[in-house]
Amino acid sequence: MSQPTDAAQPVLPQRGAILRAAVGIGLYAGAFAVTFGAVSVGSGLSVAQTMVLSLVMFTGASQFAFIGVVAAGGAPFAAASAALLLGVRNAFYGVPVSEILHPRGARRWLTAHFVIDETTAMAIGQPTQAAKRYAFWATGLILCSLWQLGTLIGALVGRAIDPADFGLDAAAPAVYLALLWPNLNRTETRVVAVAGALLAVALIPIAPPGLPVVAAAAVAVVAGLRRARP
Amino acid sequence: MTALWIALLIACLGSYGLKLAGMSLPESVLNHPRVQRVAAFLPVAMLSALVAVELFDGGGGRYAVDWRTLAGVAAGVVALLLRRGLLVVFLVAIGVTALLRLVT
């Protein structure tokens, strides 16, 4: 495991602030993971399947997309497509993370698992290289631990309760909107967001479950290629 | 092994593969402007599609809206407009939805 502290260097001045921010993100992630676990078993997945999603997939939006399609009665492979398309953004986070951590060999395999929205945002937001490394690993390890713990609690509790009684059905859409929010400051991303939602809603009565979300990817492809032309 | 397990494992390993690819592919591929634009739009289009489907898909190809869920998400949007963080947005949305479901 890469340790963020370097014995040859003085203690990071930003260390306390980074740790506080990482714990804050971890607490939110833990609460969201409880929701994920409860909604997942409520959607018909087993506790084991729910845990494999959190342990191996370990990227929240893709996990929710997967169980959302399953809950809607969609084909398992439509669920996998939606999860994978949403996971494409993690590949792009690999570029700045590689520049910060320069992981080699086996360490690259381990580091890759932790490349998600929160760790990338925390790492690139720091002023120095050492602070970036510390932020990546502090956020990654705290978030991952609480994500697994939260999922397990949610999956076990979820078998005994109806997630809707606790308003948990509102959690995923509210969190997606919060993730979208910073992107909606530009006209072109607003247009893409609205077009994706409208296309998905239009397809609900005619497409098999899961496909409306996958089809929204086409909006991104068309918008991305079109805007690239001079 | 069921189809659900197979699809789940493909999605899990594929998701990890995407993360690993980002750290392994030559930067010129991922830094291509067109590729970057599509990648930036992908979560925007799909997350908003997910929100819309979660709110308006009644299952079986029919539209349905649970106004209590809608009200909870709307309360979350108010929290966003007030520049609150993710945890607050999350708690406000589920709190309002749970409360409305309790009293109606």
pLDDT tens, N- to C-terminus, chain B (104 residues) = 699 999 999 999 999 999 999 998 887 877 888 888 888 898 899 899 999 999 999 888 899 999 999 999 999 999 999 999 888 999 999 999 999 999 98
Could you tell me if A198 lies within 8 Å of chain B, comparing CB atoms?
yes
Sign of the C-alpha dihedral computed for residues B28, B30, B31 and B35 taken in this order: positive
Element (H, E) at A205: none
From chain A, the residues in CB contact with B45 under 8 A are 192-193, 195-196, 216-217, 219-220, 223
By percentage, how much of chain A surpasses pLDDT 90?
Answer: 68
Residues A131, B61 contacting (CB under 8 angstroms): no
Q: How many CB pairs under 8 A join A and B?
A: 319
Distance CA A118, CA A22 (A): 9
Give the residue from A28, A165, A204 with the most B CB atoms within 10 Å of its CB, the best one to mutate.
A204
* A218 min Cα distance to partner chain B (Å): 8
Percent of chain B with pLDDT over 90: 67
The answer to whether ipTM exceeds 0.85 is yes
What distance in Å separates the CA atoms of residue A30 and residue A137, rounded to the nearest whole number? 17
**Half-sphere exposure of residue A46, counting CA atoms within 13 Å on the CB side?**
7
Q: Computed over its alpha carbons, how large is the radius of gyration of chain A?
A: 19
Nearest to A204 among B21, B36, B53 (CB): B53
Place of tokens 């997309």: A65
**Cβ neighbours of A53 in B, within 8 Å:** 8, 12
The pLDDT assigned to A9 comes to 54
B-chain residues within 8 Å CB-CB of A102?
none
A31-53: pLDDT as tens digits: 999 999 999 999 999 999 999 99
Contact B1, A73 (CB under 8 A): no
Band (pLDDT 50/70/90 cuts) for residue A123 is very high
Q: What is the pLDDT of residue B85?
A: 85
Helices (H) and strands (E) in chain A, counts: 10, 0
> According to the model, what pLDDT value does residue A77 have?
93
